Structure 1
Amino acid sequence: MPQQDRHKERVIPIEFNFYDILDHLPAKKRCSIVLITCGSATIKINSHIRRLNSPCVICLSQYDAVELIHCENLSAKSFHFDPWYIKACLCFDNLEDSIPIDPQYTYDRTKLYMFTKHTEHFQGILSLTPQSYIHINELMLMIGAETFSQSDGFWTCRIRRMLLQLLNSLYDIFIDQQKLKLFEPLESYNSATICAEYIHSHYAENITLSALCELVNLNRTSLNQKFKAQFSCTCMEYLLNYRLKISQELLSNSNMKIHEIAECCGFKYDSYFIKQFTAKLGISPAIYRKNPLTYSAYDGKKITTTRLTGGLL
């Protein structure tokens, strides 16, 4: 929500979030600075899959589409502002080069291109060095503290000054990384890896091949070819194998009932779970549960039976 100025009867078009989990991005009618301080995440931004590793910054605007796919130990803080908060002449309607503005404000408009002009290779993500992270984090903390304290009638002026410092620092990083061509996506982070990570996070849900294809903008044939080349199986085979691997762990380490394990692992019916478990692993879930230490971990092939002494039967 926009900040209500406690010292004057007015609303300031800014918001700060000390604990952002990237689930409500982008903010409407705002530019957003999102600082990833800890952990990692995989997001889909404007149909492009990107990996976020802390520390980094995401520069977003209302024109972006963002979906959080997976995160691990993620911690972030965010600041959202209307462009006119920087300069009264700036707004989303006149941020294009074709729209004339006073020349003295063109540099401020150019800095906002980090938020509004995303391309295939640059989706607003800036990697931070330890030194730049300390500086950016310090400015974000000061902006956040002033946003909530509103210590006196000049609090908005201080935030605007700190925001301009923050934008200047981010723009310098953007220019440096642009020169170094750091905005090319990593080849190692390919479509098969993206889908595999998605499966690891959402195996309990109703995952379809169509949904995976849409996730990485590939047709079924192309995606399965990439999957087979990397994992020696198709997408849906990988999903089944992963669900069975999780079920094996639950059978070994929990008191959950068979139907509860089936549901937890994404099987709609426990009868189907039992059928697949028996067909793929060579024994039923009930038999496996009686002495799980006797069997090896499932790796997509029938599990082997191990003697208590460690030899194979």
Structure 2
Amino acid sequence: MLARFSSQDDELPQLHTLELTSERNSWWPKPKQLETLSIALGSWCIKALNFDLTHLKKITLGNCSLKECLDVLRVAPLLTTCTLIQCYKHDKEDIDLQLPPQPIAYPNIQTFQIDLYAPDTLDCISSFFLFPSLKTLSLTYSRKAVRVDASSIVRLLKEFQCPLGTLTLTFDRVELPSEGFAPLFLELPGLRHLQLYFSRDNHMPSNAILSLLSEFSEANVDGIKQPRYLPSLHSLKFTTTKFRDWSKLPDMFGAYTANDHTFIQHRCALKNVMISSRSDYPPRVSKKNPDPSSVYPIDEETLKRILWLGDYGGVKWCLQGERIKDDIIGLGKKWYGIGGS
């Protein structure tokens, strides 16, 4: 079969998707219009890419040098989705990575995902390429040596000048930005979906982030206040360890009057909030330990505010505890005797 694939006469005109994993590159097919490619370049020499990539729409490159990534992207102008996994940079490549006169524009790329394995990868990408139509950006920081620099994300977004709608940030055992997320959030007035993932080794800055989302501008002539950060946010997702800032969640929606249990709702766009909290050895809500507030410290007043936003504000909540079946809202309602369930 491999002999047939490697035949120079067989152009494989119907092949649209190719995924390769191998320790040697003794053969390589030659499809006419390959549209999806997933490959670990660490086991395949870049020079083996001897077929036409001009029709390629989706690509996943893994275990490759930054220069190899750039070489592939240069010859694939129709890409709409690009994923770079464990993209690294050799010191000896500094000479080879010469900046072009101006960044190369990829008007079709809408989704870009990258594992930031090297500290200056983002700045390098923004120097070589422009993604003016980018809608979804996913950044993974998965190496202790890589410091999270929010300013580099800001620079990339300014260079791209893109209508970003979805941002996913994954922090795995890395040092979080000392300057916080405020400069980044200010650059994303049109962001609709924010997803944040934090590993067990991180100190989760949920309090700081939720505090930013609870800041509002001064009221206008009509008495309406606007969110200072991420005013268009429609959905928010946290996945972290031992989430403890439940009382901050309803604060994102504006002032709350305790007398009549109503909100002066200023963040009307936010309709979906998901919090997933986990730990290695979670306690269990049981007859011996029936109080959910001792496991998940959510007080009755906060729970009522959350329920009000769900019933009258149209907000969908998904608050998962440290066990995947732990429904924090359901446990709280049962414990406090709210709603009879």
By the TM > 0.5 criterion, same fold?
Answer: no
Normalised by the length of structure 2, the TM-score is 0.24
Normalised by the length of structure 1, the TM-score is 0.26
Higher relative contact order (CA 8 A, sep 6+): 1
Q: Between Structure 1 and Structure 2, which shows a larger proportion of helix residues?
A: 1
